Amino acid sequence: MEFFRIRRDIPFMKHALALNAFSTIAFVLAVFFLVTRGLNLSVEFTGGTVMEVAYEQPADLGAVREVIEDLGYAEVPVQNFGTSREVLLRLPAVSGQTAGQQSETVLAALKAKDPTVELRRTEFVGPQVGQELVEDGLLALAMVVVGIVIYLAFRFEWKFAVAAIIANLHDVVIILGFFAFFQWEFSLAVLAAVLAVLGYSVNESVVIFDRIRETFRRQRKMTPAEVIDHAITSTMSRTIITHGSTEAMVLSMLLFGGPTLFYFALALTIGILFGIYSSIFVAASVAMWLGVSREDLVKAGPRKEGDPDDPNAGAVV
């Protein structure tokens, strides 16, 4: 299905050098902020106290959040747990306070606002658990990256595998750079969004790479840059449909999902936008710089009569 069809190829690769320079600068800045400022890790990574409280009536999450903020906790996750009457709180560790003292202070403040609140459970997430989550998260990220490289190397050609992984790492580092610069909370939900962006971005790259291979087979006189421009132009309608519908859903979570889904949706929004950009101006252009050619993608093998690769195709007998 297509909304429109562009008759004339857009010269994307004409601007590849300038946009690759922009990507390099953005990537370096993101790494700089990650090194100098670091990520604002949530309680899942740093350790802290998890509290579950219950109300007689459906809880007002906004009012609960105000009470927590008045105690000096900034951006603490406050969400319903099970039913609308039960609320789950994740509090960062405070030096000089035990988990029991911390939960008693918070419960007293909540009771001052609503005497019907009851403490259902309290748990302490230790720093060791947080360290394990960090290691497991990095391991999951590394496994995704390795899997993508192997898949693309078998599906297409090693030059495309290198180009795609550079583009995907570009997207991941840019997202992390935003979170480091603005000190947004980095939670397990955000890590899940980063992994989702990896899959989403490589899917877009695969679509473009597949069209590049198809164009190389059909258009023998085009240069590699012209082939890439044609492949990207011919997939633009599909890109607008798929990314537009996905972004509409993500924006609805961002605007109406509340604080629980806000940073998850924000990471997805940044990832989708940069994923479109990197698939065109990073993955495709890197493949061009690596010298991808028709010979790389069109392998010798049995040909059928009329096949575009058949040297006798179209010949008059």
- Number of Cβ atoms within 10 Å of the Cβ of 151: 14
- Number of Cβ atoms within 10 Å of the Cβ of 165: 21
Beta strand segments in the chain, E: 40-41, 48-54, 78-81, 83-92, 118-125, 185-186
**DSSP code at position 282:** I
The third-level CATH classification (topology) of the domain covering 48-125 is: Alpha-Beta Plaits (3.30.70)
pLDDT at res. 182: 92
DSSP string, 19-71: HHHHHHHHHHHHHHHHHHT--EE-HHHH-EEEEEEE-SS---HHHHHHHHHHT
β-pair partners for 48 = 92, 125
pLDDT at res. 299: 59
**DSSP code at position 290:** T
Can you tell me the distance from the alpha carbon of 87 to that of 76, in angstroms, rounded to the nearest whole number? 12
pLDDT at res. 313: 42
Mean pLDDT by 10 residues, the chain (317 residues): 71 91 94 93 80 91 91 82 86 80 91 91 75 78 80 80 87 93 88 86 85 87 91 87 89 86 92 89 90 73 47 39
Can you tell me the distance from the alpha carbon of 11 to that of 230, in angstroms, rounded to the nearest whole number? 8
The third-level CATH classification (topology) of the domain covering 12-39+129-297 is: Multidrug efflux transporter AcrB transmembrane fold (1.20.1640)
β-pair partners for 49 = 91, 124
Q: Where are the domains of the chain?
A: 12-39+129-297, 48-125
Nearest partner of 75 among 207, 235, 216, 186, judged by Cα: 186
pLDDT at res. 141: 76
Residues 6+ apart with CB under 8 A from 111: 117
Confirm whether pTM is higher than 0.75.
yes
